[in-house]
Structure 1
Amino acid sequence: MPALRLTVFILLFCGTCGFSRSLFSLFNHCNPPEMLVGKFCAALLDNDLNGNGIVDGSDIATDTMLYNYDEDLCVTNKWEVVTRWSCRYGFSEQYGRYMYQFFDINGDGLATAADLGSVNISDAYFLKVQYTRFKNTYCGDPKNRVTPLDKLQCDEVDKLKPEDIKCT
C-alpha cells in the first residue's frame, strides 16, 4: 500500500513520465510550431482573434487573458508571459523575459490593463514588427545568442527576409 501511495504522489505532484507536462500542454495549448515563421504566425493568430486583418486593442486584451495561469485576470506576471512565449510559441525563456517589457509598458513590475495602449495595426505590419523585433533587437544583441534554442532560432531568422514572413 505505501508503494501505491508513493506512485500516486510521484505521478500527480512530481510529474514523472511527463504526466503533468502533458496535462499542462493539453489545457494550455503547449504545442509550439517548429519553424520561426510558424511562431510569428501563431502570435498573429492569437492577436487577431476576430480574423479581420487588424490587430487592435480588443484583440490584444482578449489574447492577454490566455496568459492567465494563476486565476488573476487583472495582472499578468512575468512568469506567465515566459510560460506563454516558451510553451505556445516555442521561444526561449530568455526571450519570454525580454517580451515582458512589452506587456509591462509603465515598468511597475505588473502588466495590467493600464499598460495596454491603443493599437490598430494590420496583420502584415504586426508580422513585420514580430520579425524585426526578434531579428534586429533581440538577436542583434550577442548575449541573446548563448542558449542552444536562441542560437538555433537566431540563426534561422538570419536566413529569413521580410518577404518570407507570410501566414497562409
Structure 2
Amino acid sequence: MYSIRLVVFAILLCVTCGFSRYIETQTVNLICKMLPCNPPEMLVGKFCAAMEDNDVNGDGRVDGTDIGADLLNYNFDDDPCIVEEWEVVARWTCRYGYSKEYGAYMYKQFDVNQNGRVTAGDFITLNFTNADFLMAQYTRFKNAYCGDPKNRESPVDKMQCDEVDKLKPADIKCT
C-alpha cells in the first residue's frame, strides 16, 4: 500500500512540474503575441537595443539605477519588485529576438547575488560606459554563451552563435 502511495505521489509531482513548465511556456508565447515584438534581425542591433534600453536616462552610462528602471519593462505579472524567469524569457525573446534558452541563461546572470530572486538590488553596483556595456553584451554572448556547445542546439541559437562567430570587436558599433 505504501509503495502505491509513493508511486501516485511521484506521478502527481512529475505531472504538476511538467504542467507548470507548460503553463510558463504558454504564458511566454501569449505575451510575445500580445506585445509589439519587432526585434532587430542582426546581433549588433540586438546588442545596441539592449544598450539603449539600459541607458534609461541617456547619460552615456549604464548603471544600477538605469537597469532598475529598465526592469519595469519586464513586469508582466503586476509585481514590479521581483522579476521571474518567464518574464526575462518573454522580454529577451520578444524585444531582442533571442532564444528562450538564452532568456533563461540571462535570468541566471541577472541574479547577481545568487539568492534565487531577481530584483533591482542585484544591479545596484553596476556602472558601465555605453561602449563597455555594448562590448559586455558581445563578449557574454560570444564567449560565455556560445562558447558552450550545448548552447548551440536550438535553431535560433545555432544561427545567432554562427553569426557572432563571424563578428569581431571592431564590428560592435551602434550608429
The 8 Å contact of residues 105 and 115 in structure 1, kept in 2 or not, is answered as yes
- For residue 163 of structure 1, the aligned residue among 152, 170, 175 is 170
- For residue 52 of structure 2, the aligned residue among 45, 48, 51 is 45
4+ long deviations beyond 3 Å: 18-22
From the two aligned structures, give the one with the greater helix fraction: 2
Percent sequence identity is: 62
Residue aligning to 2:38: 31
Offset of residue 155 of structure 1: 0.3
Unaligned runs of 5+ in 1: 1-17
Offset of residue 86 of structure 1: 0.6
CA deviation map 1:77-133 (0-9, x unaligned):
011011111110000000001001222122232112332231221000001100000
Could you state the TM-score of these two structures normalised by the residue count of structure 1?
0.82
The 8 Å contact of residues 53 and 70 in structure 2, kept in 1 or not, is answered as yes
- For residue 153 of structure 2, the aligned residue among 126, 136, 146 is 146
The 8 Å contact of residues 37 and 165 in structure 1, kept in 2 or not, is answered as yes
Instruction: Give the aligned CA root-mean-square deviation in angstroms.
Output: 1.9
Using a 3 Å threshold, how does the CA distance of structure 1 residues 139 and 104 change in structure 2: closer, same or farther? same
Aligned length: 148
- For residue 89 of structure 1, the aligned residue among 96, 121, 124 is 96
Unaligned runs of 5+ in 2: 1-28
Could you state the TM-score of these two structures normalised by the residue count of structure 2?
0.79
The 8 Å contact of residues 43 and 164 in structure 2, kept in 1 or not, is answered as yes
